[in-house]
Amino acid sequence: MQPIILCLASYFKGGLFLEECKQQGSRTILVTTQKTEHEDWPRHAIDEFFMLPFPNLARQPDITYSIAYLMRERAIDRIVALDDYDVETAADLREHFRLPGMGASQARFFRDKLAMRTRAAQMSVPVPAFTSVFHYPTLSDYLARVPGPWVLKPRAEASAMGIKKIHHPDELWQTLGELGDRQSYFLLEKFLPGDVFHVDSVVWQGEVRFAAAHRYGLPPMTVYHGGGVFASSTVEHDGEVERDLLAINRQVIEAMGLERGVTHAEFIRSEADGRYYFLEIAARVGGAGIDRLVEHATNVNPWREWARTVVADVRGEEYTLPALRHDYAGLVVSLARQEWPDTSTYNDPELVWRLQKRHHVGFVLASHDYERVQTLVSDYAARVAHDFSATAPPLERPPEE
Ligand SMILES: Nc1ncnc2c1ncn2[C@@H]1O[C@H](COP(=O)(O)OP(=O)(O)O)[C@@H](O)[C@H]1O
Ligand SMILES: [Mg+2]
């Protein structure tokens, strides 16, 4: 049988997912918006391409009507959200059309930072001390109990957008006053200085079949607020850091009850106590070139493996991972002042991937040698900062968009 996979994409991404679905023998339908019309979609891998006439794929009932219309003639097997913004929309559509996969309340665990925090804490996963912004006596009690500084963050945004560091309770009450009716869409938590890590996984039948752990060069908040170049590199294999990260990652995925798919999770190692704390988890592939980083370190491209799990699930077949590689890779990405930056002087033999995108530079470097990757990443980050970096206001979207 030929699986029919419908993909929602508010932004241009997931080309490799579509290619792999096609390669596995599926029929692919892409539903996107007019603003992605001129992007470099892999048209050969897309059987039907629909650009909806409204700009926001989350708009109801428009999106439900549109998909229902497609359903009249097409026996769609699965709906997949390629962008984080589509995760809830896809979940609502699955509920409406009674399709398998993540439903609306589970999707909250991967989109709503308060939902994921609460669930993780219930399941004994360490999280920064946090509170909702609903009941003022509870909030006052939290401020008296948990020493600052704190971060006030939107429950459902990405790329450190709208995150504010708060040093004094007065500052919090004033900010909440400014937010007015929007304040319940935020949560408050303790700011924990420390290194930030990401673990990218493939999940099949409730089990983590694959996970790779990487350390961000600088905490993403520092980068997104204009303080440096985005970088990440594989943590040392078989060491304590990798072991602890893989353990907490598994705990989080089990707590959220994910059955199948991919995740991108983030953790902080607190400088104060050396322990790992769960920061956030998404049911998607990491952005900004992280899929290429993971691929060159491990031989697993998360987009492709995600597609393979979806197709195997429709067919009722077993999913098997490709043969793994246990190498090291590093990623360096930045906005560039130049429209098409000349990166020809960046040519070390370890350079395995270059980002081709207007006003961006990006590289993946790979080696069997952990130290070599560390050296290359810090050199490249410094050179990129000097040669290309643009000082941009805090981003409205992650760098790859
Ligand atoms: N409790 C915290 N303590 C210290 N830094 C934090 C904390 N929460 C967020 N950050 C910083 O802000 C960044 C973005 O926060 P995160 O919760 O990952 O949201 P998102 O990536 O969706 O914007 C993190 O990568 C980290 O650098
Ligand atoms: Mg994050």
Answer whether residue 110 is part of any domain. no
- 309 and 203 in a single domain? The answer is yes
Answer whether residue 120 is part of any domain. no
Residue located via tokens 């997912």: 17
pLDDT (0 to 100) of residue 219: 86
Q: Which CATH number goes with the domain that contains 40?
A: 3.40.50.20
- 323 and 293 in a single domain? The answer is yes
188 lines ligand 1 (CB under 6 A): no
Query: What is the C-alpha to C-alpha distance for residues 6 and 87, in angstroms, rounded to an integer?
Result: 13
Please count the structural domains in the chain.
Answer: 3
Q: What domain range includes position 148?
A: 129-190
pLDDT (0 to 100) of residue 392: 54
What's the pTM value of the predicted model, to 2 decimals?
0.95
Mutation test of ligand 1: which of 85, 163, 277 has the most ligand atoms closer than 8 Å to its C-beta?
Answer: 163
- 200 and 307 in a single domain? The answer is yes
CA angle in degrees (0–180, nearest 5) for 286-51-314: 60
Name the token pair of 227. Answer: 């303080």
CA separation (Å) from 194 to 50, 120, 130, 164, 234? 44, 20, 17, 17, 17
Closest ligand to 116 CA? Answer: 1
Q: Whose CA is nearest to atom 1 of ligand 1?
A: 191
Mutation test of ligand 1: which of 111, 187, 268, 270 has the most ligand atoms closer than 8 Å to its C-beta?
Answer: 268
280 lines ligand 1 (CB under 6 A): yes
Answer whether residue 398 is part of any domain. no
**How many other β-carbons are positioned within 10 Å of the β-carbon of residue 336?**
22
Please, which residues have CB within 8 angstroms of residue 58's CB and are 6 or more apart in sequence? 10, 85, 86, 88, 89
Residue located via tokens 């459902």: 156
pLDDT (0 to 100) of residue 221: 87
CA of 47 to the centre of ligand 1 (A): 39
**Helices and strands counted in the chain (H then E):** 12, 16
- The single-letter DSSP state of residue 160 is T
Closest ligand to 154 CA? Answer: 1
CA of 227 to the centre of ligand 2 (A): 16
- Answer for the pair 289, 363: CB distance below 8 angstroms, yes or no: no
Closest ligand to 163 CA? Answer: 1
Q: Whose CA is nearest to atom 14 of ligand 1?
A: 160
Q: Whose CA is nearest to atom 13 of ligand 1?
A: 221
Q: Whose CA is nearest to atom 26 of ligand 1?
A: 221
Question: Would strands 78-81 and 4-9 be described as parallel, antiparallel, or unpaired?
Answer: parallel
Answer whether residue 124 is part of any domain. no
Element (H, E) at 214: strand 207-216
Closest ligand to 153 CA? Answer: 1
220 lines ligand 1 (CB under 6 A): yes
pLDDT (0 to 100) of residue 83: 94
Q: Whose CA is nearest to atom 23 of ligand 1?
A: 160
189 lines ligand 1 (CB under 6 A): yes
- Answer for the pair 148, 128: CB distance below 8 angstroms, yes or no: no
Residue located via tokens 């709208």: 162
Answer whether residue 83 is part of any domain. yes
- 331 and 364 in a single domain? The answer is yes
CA angle in degrees (0–180, nearest 5) for 243-245-250: 100
**Taking the alpha carbons of 39, 43, 45, 47 in that order, is the dihedral positive or negative?**
positive
395 lines ligand 1 (CB under 6 A): no
Q: Which CATH number goes with the domain that contains 153?
A: 3.30.1490.20
- 205 and 73 in a single domain? The answer is no
pLDDT (0 to 100) of residue 40: 93
CA of 127 to the centre of ligand 1 (A): 12
- 161 and 35 in a single domain? The answer is no
Answer whether residue 106 is part of any domain. no
Answer whether residue 149 is part of any domain. yes
CA separation (Å) from 138 to 131, 141, 265? 8, 5, 28
- 249 and 294 in a single domain? The answer is yes
Q: Whose CA is nearest to atom 11 of ligand 1?
A: 221
b/e 254-290 (16+ beta carbons within 10 angstroms → b):
ebbebebbbbbbbbbbbeeeeebbbbbbbbbbbbbbb
279 lines ligand 1 (CB under 6 A): yes
- 214 and 333 in a single domain? The answer is yes
Residue located via tokens 């370890």: 350
Q: Whose CA is nearest to atom 7 of ligand 1?
A: 191
What are the residues facing 328 on neighbouring strands?
A: 367
Element (H, E) at 303: helix 302-315
Of the candidates 153, 173, 190, which is a domain's last residue?
Answer: 190
Tens-level pLDDT at each residue, the chain (401 residues): 899 999 999 999 999 999 999 999 999 999 999 999 899 999 999 999 999 988 899 999 999 999 999 999 999 999 999 999 999 999 999 999 999 999 999 999 999 999 999 999 999 999 999 999 999 999 999 999 999 999 999 999 765 668 999 999 999 999 999 999 999 999 999 999 999 999 999 999 999 999 999 999 988 888 887 768 999 999 999 999 999 999 999 999 999 999 999 999 999 999 999 999 999 999 999 998 999 999 999 999 999 999 999 999 999 999 999 999 999 999 999 999 999 999 999 999 999 999 999 999 999 999 999 999 999 999 999 999 999 987 654 444 444 43
Answer whether residue 367 is part of any domain. yes
- Answer for the pair 300, 292: CB distance below 8 angstroms, yes or no: no
**192 CA: nearest ligand 1 atom:** 3
Of the candidates 84, 101, 118, which is a domain's last residue?
Answer: 101
CA of 146 to the centre of ligand 1 (A): 18
Closest ligand to 148 CA? Answer: 1
pLDDT (0 to 100) of residue 390: 74
- 85: nearest Cα among 159, 162, 10: 10
pLDDT (0 to 100) of residue 226: 74
- 348 and 375 in a single domain? The answer is yes
Our measurement of the distance from residue 238's CA atom to the centroid of its chain's CA atoms, rounded to an integer in Å, reads 25
191 lines ligand 1 (CB under 6 A): yes
Mutation test of ligand 1: which of 279, 280, 281, 401 has the most ligand atoms closer than 8 Å to its C-beta?
Answer: 279
Of the candidates 82, 101, 120, which is a domain's last residue?
Answer: 101
- 18 and 134 in a single domain? The answer is no
- 186 and 289 in a single domain? The answer is no
- 200 and 183 in a single domain? The answer is no
CA separation (Å) from 31 to 12, 79, 176, 305? 11, 10, 37, 21
